Amino acid sequence: MRVLINGKSHELEAAATLATAVALLPGAPAGRGVAAAVDGEVVPQREWSNTPLSEGARIELVVAVQGG
Amino acid sequence: MTGVASLRIADRELGSRLILGTGGFHNHEVLADALEAAGTELCTVALRRLDPHARGSILDVLESAGVDVLPNTAGCFTARDAILTAQLAREAFETDWIKLEVIGDDRTLLPDAVELLSAAEALVDDGFVVLPYTTDDPILARRLEDVGCSAVMPLGSPIGSGMGIRNPYNIAIIVERAGVPVILDAGVGTASDAAQAMELGCDGVLCASAISRAHDPGAMARAIRMSVEAGWLARRAGRIPRRLHAEASTPMEDMPVFDTPEA
């Protein structure tokens, strides 16, 4: 299936979870200062590995940066 | 020992009345120097999409400086985006505190009052400690307090403008009526602006560009720290009233009389 991670299209296996998708990103970000949302809903990190994705899912993966 | 009392916001006591924004520092080393010089205990951070080329984490810098994180919703134009960003921040930083920014356009970066109030109300209901970046409108400040914000953070002038406090009378009115801490946020260009905010009765100052974009950020951080303390002390010392004419400080009685030569 195809999903959008931070606006870019990725091809994932049908059984992929949010954890699978995040692992594709450089450095496989996790831990403090990292958060993810799927289709506009925040998913806590402890639930990434049992959050299934569906075709066309929009994933936003954000990290702490300087600002404000 | 400066003699400046700590600042209480919600359930937290802050030893410093200067909150530092981390935007605009050229690198983490300059930020670390400024953190130390500012003596701040709370710093804003933002959330953005992962940048594969980013080097090091800002959280490591803040942690080694012993400074707590105040996540913001910078760049959000709608209540919906700000609420989602706040929820992401709660996950990312394990804090209920949020500096709420909902701006109206990217030229002025001025708050959108309608979206701001709506987001503030929803986030308070969701258990957040909400510190809203707001205009210098006393009525909006009161409305934000009424929906349960833990502080109000009026701007002195637009973000990054360095124009100081364009309407000190409005800031004074906000202070007079506020039941929560008032933090002047945005517009500080140099130390005297921060001192003025505190002399007007603000409880603290949030400052980013004035420090991060100064020629010497460490020196400016120290200057603004001292001006926040000076302004706090001056406010409590009680300034003299302004007068149109002079009032002599030296007695005018018992002046010696000198003979003047006859013309």
List pLDDT tens digits, range B59-93: 999 999 999 999 999 999 999 999 999 999 999 99
Identify whether the C-beta of residue B126 lies closer than 8 Å to the C-beta of residue B84. no
- Residue B145's identity, in one-letter code, is E
A68 touches chain B (CB under 8 A): yes
Of A40, A44, A64, the CB nearest to B57: A64
> B67: distance to nearest CA of chain A, Å?
14
Pairing, β B97-100 against β B12-14:
unpaired
Cβ contact B49–A45 (<8 Å): no
A25 contacts on B by Cβ (under 8 Å): 50, 52
- Count of structural domains within chain A: 1
Report the CATH number that the domain containing residue A49 is assigned in CATH. 3.10.20.30
pLDDT of residue B175: 98
- Residue A51 reports pLDDT greater than 70: yes
Identify whether the C-beta of residue B37 lies closer than 8 Å to the C-beta of residue B218. yes
pTM score, whole prediction: 0.92
For residue B94, the chain A residue with the least C-alpha distance is: A32
**Of A40, A61, A14, residue with least CA distance to B48:** A61
The pairs formed by B174-179 with CB atoms below 8 angstroms and a separation of 24 or more are B174/B136, B174/B138, B174/B141, B175/B200, B175/B201, B175/B202, B176/B201, B177/B138, B177/B141, B177/B142, B178/B141, B178/B142, B178/B145, B178/B152, B179/B145
| Model pLDDT for residues B181-220, shown as the tens digit of each residue | 999 999 999 999 999 999 999 999 999 999 999 999 999 9
The answer to the question of residue A38 being in a domain is yes
Q: Which domain holds residue A24?
A: 2-63
The answer to the question of residue A27 being in a domain is yes
pLDDT of residue B223: 98
pLDDT of residue B263: 62
B47 contacts on A by Cβ (under 8 Å): 35, 62-65
pLDDT of residue B56: 78
DSSP states along B12-28: EEES-SEEEE-TT-SSH
Identify whether the C-beta of residue B212 lies closer than 8 Å to the C-beta of residue B24. yes
- The verdict on ipTM greater than 0.90 is yes
Cβ contact B44–A63 (<8 Å): no
- Residue B1 reports pLDDT greater than 70: no
CATH ID of B17-237, from 3.40.50.300, 3.40.50.620, 3.20.20.70, 1.10.3720.10: 3.20.20.70
Please provide residue B183's backbone torsions phi and psi, each rounded to the nearest 5 degrees: -115, 120
The C-alpha atoms of residue B45 and residue B71 are separated, in whole angstroms, by 5
The C-alpha atoms of residue B138 and residue B171 are separated, in whole angstroms, by 8
Cβ contact A65–B72 (<8 Å): no
B99 is catalytic: yes
Pairing, β B42-49 against β A58-66:
antiparallel
For residue A5, the chain B residue with the least C-alpha distance is: B49
Between the alpha carbon of residue B175 and those of residues A26, B30, B81, B143, the distances in Å are 48, 33, 29, 14
A37 touches chain B (CB under 8 A): yes
The answer to the question of residue A68 being in a domain is no
For residue A45, the chain B residue with the least C-alpha distance is: B91
Q: Classify the C-alpha dihedral B253-B257-B262-B263 as positive or negative.
A: negative
Where along chain B do its domains lie? 17-237
| Model pLDDT for residues B100-122, shown as the tens digit of each residue | 999 999 999 999 999 999 999 99
What is the pLDDT averaged over residues B219-244?
Answer: 97
Q: Which residue is associated with the tokens 């009032």?
A: B247
Alpha helices in chain B (DSSP H): 28-38, 58-65, 79-93, 113-125, 138-146, 168-177, 191-199, 209-212, 217-237
Cβ contact B94–A34 (<8 Å): no
- Using DSSP, state whether B8 is helix, strand or coil: strand
Identify whether the C-beta of residue B109 lies closer than 8 Å to the C-beta of residue B77. no
